[in-house]
Structure 1
Amino acid sequence: MIEEPENLRELYEARDQDTGFLDDILAESDAEREAEERAREQAEDDERRAEEAERRAAEAERELQEQRRRAEQAEREAEEQRRQAEEAARRERERAEAGPPAAATEDAEPGEVERREITEAEARGSSQEFETEIRTDAETATTEADDDGDRLRDLGRAALIGLGAYALGQVLDDGGEVVAGTGERVVVERDGRYDILKDDDILLRRPGADVQTESFADGSVRRRVILPEGGEVITVRAADGRVLRRVRVMPDGERVVLFDDTRQVRPVDVAQLPRPAEPVEMQDGITGEDELAEALQQARLRDVNRDFSLEQVRQIDAVRKLVPVVSLDRIGFPTGSAAISASEAEELNALGTAMRRAIRENPGAVFLVEGHTDAVGSAAYNLLLSDRRAESVALALTEYFGVPPANMIVQGYGESDLRVETQDPSQANRRAAVRNITPLLAGQR
């Protein structure tokens, strides 16, 4: 057996020692790399967790701010509804103190009677823009001074239809001031709040209608509109222009009370009202006549344990929202426009048919047609424009689908009920809507 030289064994041992040393170095290097990798991953995890925590904190802050915004908005809305209820109650008290107007008394003798038959040229249509020029108290158009030397700004016409003459800047008996208007309607400001005055019988002025207007010494008016298809509509209006009572006389002589604000009703406590009704979105090709008829009839199923005056329904948001609203999203008004084209009117087919059916089943049914605008422009301008939009929808429902005009009341709400909270132009806010307010009205329960 050949023995390895001593020096060779030493070489092997040295080699083995070096190899072990290198293995130790490599192992240490791997451990260091692993430690660095873990540290890097830990740092990245910590950074991600910090970013996630920061994102969640930002979301929580945004949600908190949104909750605060919604709470503030709800508080503002509740305060506005309380104000509306107080204003309606004030008017009810004044009306009760003054007693019923002469026009509401059947045996009262009118001081003046005017008769006229409405011609095709005088009747309005849904495709007309009506009077688009709106003047405000900031403009300088004036007339000659009156006997007392006061200069009053002209509205563009000597008088509103059936309402008498109003001039921009005129202060009314109740302290309200006329701040804007067209030849069709005016806006009155009271303590920074706006009301609109107009002729609620305008929908009844159809071609061939025979109109008899009886004016009384106290300023109230009783108007009888004999319809060309038979029957008549009798409307009583107070001296300040507010409509008080409407009776529909059927061709067979039956009298149907549509609303009666000469009756006393309790003031509204908005905190005691039931929750608002769910809205109904009317979509072309999706919402059919039966669905809309069902939505309109849902209003009759709501039990609110009391009735309201028409003015309370019109002026107090919390009251009108007790019944479902049918939003007419397919009627898109261009900026500044109130006209409805024939093609747009076709979108009202299902609704018009459903309304006509409801009125056929209950001749006393009453529908509120609402108009709305976006927030572009002045509040007074938008109130006038929205009221014209509501009128256009009501006219289209009569022209195209035969909905009896006596069973509709129009009301503009301007920019006060935005669907999308924005001060920018918004098609979603330029809209119209319809509610079946029959179960809310005094005289209908």
Structure 2
Amino acid sequence: MQARDARRNEQIRRNLDRREQELRQDERRVDRRERQLDRRDDYRDDRYYRDNRYYDDDYWNDRDDDDDDDHGSDIAKLLLAGVAGYAVGSMLSGNRQVALNTGDRAVLTLPDGSQQIVRDDNALLYQPGSDVQTETFNDGSTRTTVLRADGSRVVTIRDADTNVLQRTLIRPDGTATRLMDNTNVRPVQVSTLPAPQPVEYSSQPWNEDDLRTALLRESGTDRRFTLGQIRDIPEVRSLVAPVNVPDVTFDTGSAALSSDQAEQLATLGKVIRDSIDQNPNEVYMIEGYTDAVGSNAANLALSDRRAESVALALTEYYQVPPENMVVQGYGEEFLLVPTEGDTRDNRRVAIRRITDLLEQSGS
């Protein structure tokens, strides 16, 4: 088993080296394409997609009624097609069944009965004025390059199952920051992990100093993990404590975030942005939750949208770089208030700084 894992990791590293060489060869072509962009049209299309998808209650009502949105942008259509295609492929190759497909994400039921959310992890990167290029390789892996108006690029390499292998920010001057490197997969033995970090919940808005202290608390381990291990293994995640966001809760069945609510994220946005300015390697996981009303699959998808809504608000209102965030919904699995009822406090989000847990060097 170890020899097989070692061969797999070595093959992945060779593939990544080859693709990085190809990336450098493509830089001139990419620069020429960037100069040809009609940024006003991109802004118009992306702005409609973003605003209507995440900040308009009528959008979610329309989706519940199965109405078609004839005005969606090209990016929206690509996302829907990509997620749907991945869901079908996963069902056929991994003995997983599609429990729910909402178009922008899918919920799969695994052989053990647990459920898994599938979404496009690059969705946060699709900002106004950006050009998205995706290349697919023979092994099914992909390299997506998001070109921005300021000349920077975010390059994400994913495997055939769309799991993120690497994400790198390349600035206009050519300097690069590796944000994620999930190519060296090591098994997790839960019994050897340190005790979880204590969780402090606040029912009142955090002041800046307390929020910074809570959010930037270091983990209790030197071990690094893949993004999938952090998302899927509670004992790994709990090595850093989540910080709840009491300022924002959601209406029943809704992932919409009003502008008034987004303004309540000002302190959080400032703390996160300041930390990234000081350390460009910082990565935060935005977690979404629901109450216990409704089906598990629907709640899982809804909670994931809530996390994405908050992440997009942090980018739009407070200029938090989207490449430094990932989202993850947990549905009704971790109720803040242990009740089966319709409790608003459970329709929430939390933030977790996963920088200290996340493998970024590939070592």
State whether residues 289 and 303 of structure 2, in contact with CA within 8 Å, keep that contact through their aligned partners in structure 1: yes
Deviation at 1:425, TM superposition (A): 1.3
Q: Which residue of 2 aligns with 1:11?
A: none
Aligned length: 331
State whether residues 248 and 261 of structure 2, in contact with CA within 8 Å, keep that contact through their aligned partners in structure 1: yes
Q: How does 1:366-385 map to 2 (within 5 A)?
A: 366-385=283-302
Counterparts of 2:84 and 2:10 in 1: how far apart (Å)?
21
**Secondary structure of residue in 2 paired with 1:121:** helix
Counterparts of 1:161 and 1:233 in 2: how far apart (Å)?
22
Q: Which residue of 2 aligns with 1:231?
A: 152
Aligned CA distance change for structure 1 residues 332 and 307 (closer, same or farther; 3 Å): same
Deviations 1:119-158 (A, max 9, x none): 33334144135656469xxx9xxxxxxxxxxxxxxxx979
Counterparts of 1:414 and 1:396 in 2: how far apart (Å)?
20
Is residue 2:111 matched to residue 1:184? Answer: no
Identify the match of residue 106 of structure 1 among 19, 23, 40. 19
Q: Which residue of 2 aligns with 1:293?
A: 212
Counterparts of 2:95 and 2:297 in 1: how far apart (Å)?
17
Is residue 2:135 matched to residue 1:214? Answer: yes
Counterparts of 1:169 and 1:233 in 2: how far apart (Å)?
26
Q: Which residue of 1 aligns with 2:168?
A: 247
Amino acid in structure 1 at the alignment position of 2:132: V
Counterparts of 1:163 and 1:103 in 2: how far apart (Å)?
24
Q: Which residue of 2 aligns with 1:274?
A: 194
State whether residues 102 and 108 of structure 1, in contact with CA within 8 Å, keep that contact through their aligned partners in structure 2: no
Identify the match of residue 267 of structure 2 among 350, 357, 360. 350
Counterparts of 2:109 and 2:6 in 1: how far apart (Å)?
19
Counterparts of 2:102 and 2:110 in 1: how far apart (Å)?
19
Counterparts of 2:78 and 2:326 in 1: how far apart (Å)?
25
Deviations 1:240-264 (A, max 9, x none): 1222211111233221111111123
Counterparts of 2:277 and 2:198 in 1: how far apart (Å)?
25
Counterparts of 2:291 and 2:7 in 1: how far apart (Å)?
34
Q: Which residue of 1 aligns with 2:43?
A: 119
State whether residues 255 and 309 of structure 2, in contact with CA within 8 Å, keep that contact through their aligned partners in structure 1: yes
Q: Which residue of 2 aligns with 1:440?
A: 357
**Secondary structure of residue in 2 paired with 1:439:** coil
Q: Which residue of 2 aligns with 1:422?
A: 339
State whether residues 289 and 334 of structure 2, in contact with CA within 8 Å, keep that contact through their aligned partners in structure 1: yes
State whether residues 160 and 198 of structure 1, in contact with CA within 8 Å, keep that contact through their aligned partners in structure 2: no
Computing the radius of gyration from Cα coordinates, the structure with the larger value is: 1
Counterparts of 1:425 and 1:268 in 2: how far apart (Å)?
36
Deviation at 1:438, TM superposition (A): 0.1
Identify the match of residue 160 of structure 1 among 80, 100, 105. 80
Q: TM-score, normalised by structure 1?
A: 0.67
Counterparts of 1:182 and 1:103 in 2: how far apart (Å)?
33
Deviation at 1:231, TM superposition (A): 1.3
**Secondary structure of residue in 1 paired with 2:327:** strand
Identify the match of residue 304 of structure 1 among 221, 225, 234. 221
Deviation at 1:374, TM superposition (A): 1.1
State whether residues 60 and 254 of structure 2, in contact with CA within 8 Å, keep that contact through their aligned partners in structure 1: no
Counterparts of 1:294 and 1:128 in 2: how far apart (Å)?
34
Q: Which residue of 1 aligns with 2:277?
A: 360
Deviations 1:38-63 (A, max 9, x none): xxxxxxxxxxxxxxxxxxxxxxxxxx
Deviations 1:216-256 (A, max 9, x none): 22221101111223411110111112222111112332211
State whether residues 197 and 220 of structure 2, in contact with CA within 8 Å, keep that contact through their aligned partners in structure 1: no
Q: Which residue of 2 aligns with 1:37?
A: none
Amino acid in structure 2 at the alignment position of 1:440: L
Q: Which residue of 1 aligns with 2:118?
A: 197
Counterparts of 1:175 and 1:218 in 2: how far apart (Å)?
20
State whether residues 235 and 245 of structure 1, in contact with CA within 8 Å, keep that contact through their aligned partners in structure 2: yes
Q: Which residue of 1 aligns with 2:26?
A: none
State whether residues 279 and 325 of structure 1, in contact with CA within 8 Å, keep that contact through their aligned partners in structure 2: yes
State whether residues 9 and 184 of structure 2, in contact with CA within 8 Å, keep that contact through their aligned partners in structure 1: no
State whether residues 203 and 405 of structure 1, in contact with CA within 8 Å, keep that contact through their aligned partners in structure 2: yes
Counterparts of 1:93 and 1:173 in 2: how far apart (Å)?
20
Counterparts of 2:126 and 2:81 in 1: how far apart (Å)?
11
Counterparts of 1:167 and 1:312 in 2: how far apart (Å)?
20
Amino acid in structure 2 at the alignment position of 1:293: R
State whether residues 370 and 390 of structure 1, in contact with CA within 8 Å, keep that contact through their aligned partners in structure 2: yes
Q: Which residue of 2 aligns with 1:144?
A: none
Gap regions ≥5 residues in structure 1: 1-88, 140-155
Identify the match of residue 179 of structure 2 among 258, 272, 293. 258
Matched-pair identity in %: 42
Deviation at 1:355, TM superposition (A): 0.1
Q: Which residue of 2 aligns with 1:96?
A: 8
Q: How does 1:2-81 map to 2 (within 5 A)?
A: none
State whether residues 103 and 222 of structure 1, in contact with CA within 8 Å, keep that contact through their aligned partners in structure 2: no
Amino acid in structure 2 at the alignment position of 1:370: E
Gap regions ≥5 residues in structure 2: 24-28, 67-75
Counterparts of 1:170 and 1:304 in 2: how far apart (Å)?
33
Amino acid in structure 1 at the alignment position of 2:172: P
Is residue 2:317 matched to residue 1:391? Answer: no
